[in-house]
Amino acid sequence: MEFTEAILLTVVTASTPLLIAALGELVCERSGVLNLGVEGMMVMGAACGFAAASLSGSTTVGIVAGIAAGALLSCLFALMVLVFAANQVASGLALTIFGLGLSGLIGRDFVGKQINAVPEVHIPGLTDLPFVGRLFFGEDVFVYASFALVVGIAWFLNKTRAGLVLRAVGDSHVSAHALGHPVLRVRFFAILFGGACAGLAGAYLSLAYTPFWVQGMTAGRGWIALALVVFSSWMPWRAVIGAYLFGAVTILQLHAQGFGLPVPSQLMSALPYLATILVLVLISRSRARAGAPAALGQPFVPDR
């Protein structure tokens, strides 16, 4: 029981940054903007969050700094794709490269340093319950925030007028503009939200998952988050399933190596990314892509 509980706890921690980043990108893509810079925003959130927490001695300050770093970097992306109508794919890739380089510069003085991790929640009488106590009532605030985001985003997209406008912009920006909706403003706030979520996911990595900083610590999680959006068919509830599926693959391959299975460690380490490719291939051959916003990746230039 204790071993199973330990595995489930590590699956939760491995899945949380994937879920948070994927939810932010989901909102961004529902507005019609494809941001491939998730990896860069995540690693910037990790670097700035750790630096702020290390200098201030407060993990709360670190969380805020991580969110701000991701949001600020997303503003640069918004400037390129909304104001200058630059290619979204090229701009996103450039954002990732820029974020990886800048994060290394920001975090170079913090390599090897450690801080106190974000404390886990403790509810007397509930957290101490056998097996389910720590799993449901003893996680850190990031885990509960990720599920709050799922509920909030699902409600926003399906039950509010603003969510309907955002989906309309993503499906046909020309029609939405003709109806008087501010397409560029809607997309800007969607990009900003996606950047904030990516920064929060990155801050989780350096403040809770592994409370230290090392360059490139996101290790491709931003690309997995992008794949999760497609896996979920742009639906928040399905993103939870996908995130925990990929988190489980990541953790189980580590345990498989610990058990000494006669499989090359390099192949085991590649399993999460092989699973990502497999899922994308299967989805491309099915009708799941029908949930994609019709105007995804298309620049919008309003009539002068």
* Beta strands in the chain, from DSSP E residues, in sequence order: none
Gap between the terminal Cα atoms of the chain: 66
Cβ count near 216 (within 10 Å) = 12
Confidence at residue 265, expressed as pLDDT on a 0 to 100 scale: 65
Residue matched to tokens 């407060």: 58
Q: Which residue has the higher pLDDT, 36 or 271?
A: 36
Phi and psi based region of residue 51 (left: phi greater than 0; alpha: psi -120 to 50; beta: remaining): alpha
Architecture of domain 2-291: Orthogonal Bundle (1.10)
Q: Is the pLDDT of residue 288 over 70?
A: no
In order of 41, 90, 113, 221, the CA distances from 185 in angstroms are 21, 22, 41, 28
- Prediction pTM value: 0.92
- The string of pLDDT tens digits covering residues 60-117 is 999 999 999 999 999 999 999 999 999 999 999 999 999 999 999 999 999 888 898 8
- In three-state secondary structure terms, 253 is helix
Residue matched to tokens 């019609």: 32
Distance, CA of 34 to CA of 37 (rounded, Å): 9
Q: Name all contacts of 105-112 with Cβ < 8 Å and 24+ positions apart.
A: 106/44, 106/47, 106/48, 106/51, 107/46, 107/47, 107/50, 107/51, 107/213, 107/215, 108/215, 110/47, 110/50, 110/51, 110/54, 110/213, 111/213, 111/214, 111/215, 112/212
Distance, CA of 195 to CA of 67 (rounded, Å): 8
Distance, CA of 52 to CA of 149 (rounded, Å): 24
CA–chain centroid gap for 5, Å, is 25
Residue 257: band (very low, low, confident or very high) from pLDDT cuts 50, 70, 90:
low
Alpha helices in 79-182 (DSSP H): 88-106, 132-137, 141-159, 161-171, 173-178
- The string of pLDDT tens digits covering residues 199-245 is 999 999 999 998 889 999 998 899 999 989 988 889 999 999 989 98
Instruction: Retrieve residue 227's tokens.
Output: 């794949």
**Domain ranges (residues) in the chain:** 2-291
Confidence at residue 1, expressed as pLDDT on a 0 to 100 scale: 67
Confidence at residue 287, expressed as pLDDT on a 0 to 100 scale: 47
Residue 210's φ and ψ, nearest 5 degrees, are -135, 100
Cα Rg, the chain, nearest whole Å = 19
Distance, CA of 119 to CA of 240 (rounded, Å): 23
Amino acid at 2: E
Confidence at residue 121, expressed as pLDDT on a 0 to 100 scale: 86
Asked if residue 155 lies in contact with residue 278, where contact means CB atoms within 8 angstroms, the answer is: no
Residue 178: band (very low, low, confident or very high) from pLDDT cuts 50, 70, 90:
very high
Distance, CA of 275 to CA of 74 (rounded, Å): 28
